[in-house]
Amino acid sequence: MHSAMSKTALIDHLYEAWRRGPVSPLRLGSQDAVLVTGPEAVRQVLVHDAARCTKRSHRARSLLGDGLITATGERWKRQRRALQSHFTAVGVRRYERHIAGAAQHIADRWERCARTGEPTDVAEDMRYFALDTIWRLLTGTPLDARTHDDLSPLARVVAALPTLSAPGRTPSAAPQTQQTQQTRQTQQTQQTQRTRQAPERDGAAEGPERVEEAARRAVAAARAAGPGDGRGILHDLLDYPDQLLRDELVTLIVAGHETTATALTWLHLLLDRHPWWRAWALRRGPAGHRALITETLRLYPPVWLIPRHADEDTVLDGRPVAAGTRVLVCPYLTHRDPALWPAPLAFDPRRPAARPQSGAFHPFGTGPRACLGQHFSLREMEILTTTLLPRFVPRPTAPASLSPTFAATLYAAGPCTATVHPVAPDGPGPAALPGQEQPRDREGAG
């Protein structure tokens, strides 16, 4: 994010622009920008004009290197092709056993908590589940204690990332030569040294070094084992150079667990605030669980802001946008537009889901750079919800806040400590729902 604007100031600035219309110009420090929230304009930016409204430098580039999220041009196309088959709706079915194993691990923990009365941190449990799942997917093995310890600072590292990257830095799309790889390794070594010398800030400083160590171990183990079916995605990428393999591994870990864990945490917080929806969903089975997930993603899309850069002059919703303008697509605001969603701040899983192609609902983005792992993430959430919802009710030990923190992802601001209880008999169904009062502020969902 521009250094002159805090994360809080940014969302206030975006709210002010949003009130002016679906395509609204604004200033980010000294840079021209435009906020895009209207569905047609969203589709134009992310789908039809994707070649003109491009992804530039990424705020997590120092951590992710040249992995899929930060790659551009032909390099990005090659990397996406190499991974695509693993993340289609059909491809995800091959890995459901990994998801189920990780879900059972959390169910076993919650069963112990319910039996002993020991409280648990729901956000940490959701993070462990998502991290365990992606680690099983990548390596073919469950998350071990050492790797979990090394990767656990990722949440703090991601939370410390700027909401927007600094303007004007464009990563090169040129192929990696041995010299450029050596240069990158030297730069990363220097960055690691600076990280070690820097004072720790809530543990964020030590994070990159420990993540790097876990990635090196995983790459070395994959090289030693060699390629093979069923061993994990990492074993299918062994023709990558070590540095790119490391970058892809860290990218998939970060992208594959942080957003899913955040969405699942919001789901549990919303069900605590609106407990009647739990019984409603259980009576409807998988369709009810999917409705809970979809409505959670509408109100609290983890990727709440999608920045692009206008490489050429264009027109959005009749408004000229000059080349060089920063284009900000904001799912969080689109998903709360009363012109698109009746009673937009209410948590109501009964509402018809909008098709992502419409531009009105895009928690995973849309177009050629839509989230590669969206099918996997949705299946993760469905399997965990199906595993936990019929058996357990987590109850926060203090009133839970639904106020989000607008960082690199949209995470819950307050603590999520809860006691776990066995599911009680069915509560009220839709006919007995209490009146849904509108929230008093913009945090939403009551």
Which residues, including other chains, have CB under 8 Å from residue 29's CB and lie 6 or more apart? 2, 3, 4, 5
Amino acid (one-letter) located at 186? T
Measured CA to CA, the distance from residue 420 to residue 118 in angstroms comes to 8
- Helix (H) or strand (E) segment spanning residue 125: helix 122-139
Residue whose tokens read 């995470």: 411
| pTM score of the predicted model | 0.84
pLDDT of residue 234: 85
CB atoms near residue 352 (< 10 Å): 7
Count Cα atoms within 13 angstroms, Cβ side, for 18.
Answer: 20
Q: What string of pLDDT tens digits covers the 446 residues of the chain? A: 444 455 568 899 999 999 999 999 999 888 999 999 999 999 999 999 999 999 876 556 666 777 777 777 888 788 888 888 888 888 889 899 999 999 999 999 999 999 999 999 999 999 999 999 999 999 999 999 999 999 888 877 777 776 665 554 433 333 333 444 444 444 444 443 333 333 344 444 466 778 888 888 888 888 888 776 557 888 888 888 888 888 888 888 888 888 999 999 999 999 999 999 999 999 999 999 999 999 999 999 999 999 999 999 999 999 999 999 999 999 999 999 999 999 999 999 999 876 656 899 999 999 999 998 999 999 999 999 999 999 999 999 998 889 999 988 999 887 899 999 998 765 444 434 444 443 333 445 65
pLDDT of residue 354: 66
pLDDT of residue 437: 41
Q: Are 163 and 5 in contact (CB under 8 A)?
A: no
Q: Are 339 and 439 in contact (CB under 8 A)?
A: no
Secondary structure of 287-320 in the HEC alphabet?
HHHHHHHHHHHHHCCCCCCEEEEECCCEEECCEE
Count Cα atoms within 13 angstroms, Cβ side, for 175.
Answer: 5
Domains, in order of start, for the chain: 7-432 (1.10.630.10)
CB atoms near residue 435 (< 10 Å): 4
Count Cα atoms within 13 angstroms, Cβ side, for 238.
Answer: 16
Q: Are 119 and 418 in contact (CB under 8 A)?
A: yes
Measured CA to CA, the distance from residue 82 to residue 247 in angstroms comes to 14
Phi, psi of 374 (to 5 degrees): -65, -40
pLDDT of residue 340: 92
